[in-house]
Amino acid sequence: MNIKQVILQAFHDHPGQFISGEELSQTCGCSRTAVWKHIEELRKDGYEFEAVRKSGYRLLVAPDRLSAAEITAGLNTQRIGQQVMAHDEVQSTQPLAHEAAARGAEEGTLVLAEQQTGGKGRLGRQWHSPKGTGIWMSLIIRPAIPLPKTPQMTLLTAVSVARTIREETGLPVKIKWPNDIFIGDKKVCGILTELNAESDRVNYLVIGIGVNANSVAEDFPQELAEIATSLRIESGEQVKRVRFIQQFCRFFEEEYDYFLQNGFERVKAEWEANSYTIGRWVNVQTISQKLEGRAIALDDEGVLMVQDQAGAIHKVYSADVNYRANP
């Protein structure tokens, strides 16, 4: 942690309280003048402090800015989110995360940006990522799991995002197989999992997560107006993005550690309990096949099972799924 991070951590540990310059200088291991300089820098970053002679400093307002210091201060995890690379504007956080992972970035590293000019969806699609309104981030993980199990990480991520949204906003979210989070019939979050592997060994995964947090209706281009929504539009309230990310990291780590030790069963149960897909009639389009039927469950590996009208059960590994009226 750098000095700014240590100072923010101290204020986080003492919410609403004054901390003396002397105490801060001891905690940071630097002079009181250095503490003062860092406080001034934090002020320029948008933090507001009250300074009272003899009492010290008190943090009044922290900006909703996605900085490494802000996210790591008060983060309650062992490794997820402990390293943060925060950018203002990038094309996409995904290639940056791949580069960082290839250079040896630790598991749990987050790469995020206030704006993406070329945000990526699946299959070459685009992800609309305007400035300051959303959470556009890529998480690096290095699970020791066989390749066929890697799609389970997308489902694990979806379950963790869904829980974060539910607990932070109280909104009723549903997961659409495999990677979208919906509120009502509109998409509020998309997940893009990319893999780097050799023969049967996973080197790392980069999980891209895009959450429309504080977008208002005018932030969406016309083609998204009918299909996209944001947490703010749905709840009427501004989302504290830093807190949202911290909570996501906590839930993800909890779910991930449990998964590494005990397997997929819990994720499967939570996914099914929050599913938009299970029980619905769907049109499935895979690379080689078109299929109509009812989505009935996930199998033990996380593969979607669809039963056609003749009663045959098909396993769907990777596909686009559209919803249709009951026959």
Task: Indicate the residue among 5 and 138 with the shorter CB distance to ligand BTX.
Answer: 138
Pairing of strands 84-90, 110-116: parallel
Nearest residue to 23 (alpha-carbon basis) of 4, 39, 7:
7
Is 289 labeled as ligand-binding? no
CB of 124 to ligand BTX, least distance (A): 8
What sign has the CA pseudo-torsion 240, 237, 233, 175? positive
Could you give the CA distance from residue 224 to residue 152 in angstroms, rounded to a whole number? 28
Structure tokens at 127: 């992800």
Spatial separation of the C-alpha atoms in residues 11 and 188, rounded to whole Å: 32
- Backbone torsions φ then ψ of 128, nearest 5 degrees: -70, 120
Written as one letter, the residue type at 216 is: V
Write down the residue that tokens 């200088």 correspond to: 25
Interaction site with ligand BTX (CB under 6 A) = 92-94, 116, 119-122, 125-129, 136-138, 179-180, 187, 190-192, 208-210, 212, 224, 228
Distance CA 85, CA 78 (A): 17
CB of 17 to ligand BTX, least distance (A): 36
Q: How many CB atoms lie within 10 A of CB 308?
A: 13
Count other Cβ atoms within 10 Å, centred on residue 127.
18
The CB-of-146 to ligand BTX minimum distance in angstroms stands at 24
Residue 176 DSSP SS3: strand
Q: Which is nearer to ligand BTX, 70 or 180 (CB)?
A: 180
For ligand BTX, the closer CB: 11 or 180 = 180
**Smallest distance from ligand BTX to CB 122, Å:** 4
- Least distance from ligand BTX to the Cβ atom of residue 116, Å: 5
Q: In terms of CB distance, is 49 or 220 closer to ligand BTX?
A: 220
Q: Is 176 annotated as a binding residue?
A: no
49/127 with CB nearer ligand BTX: 127
**Per the annotation, where are the binding residues?**
116, 187
| Residue list for the binding site for biotin | 116, 187
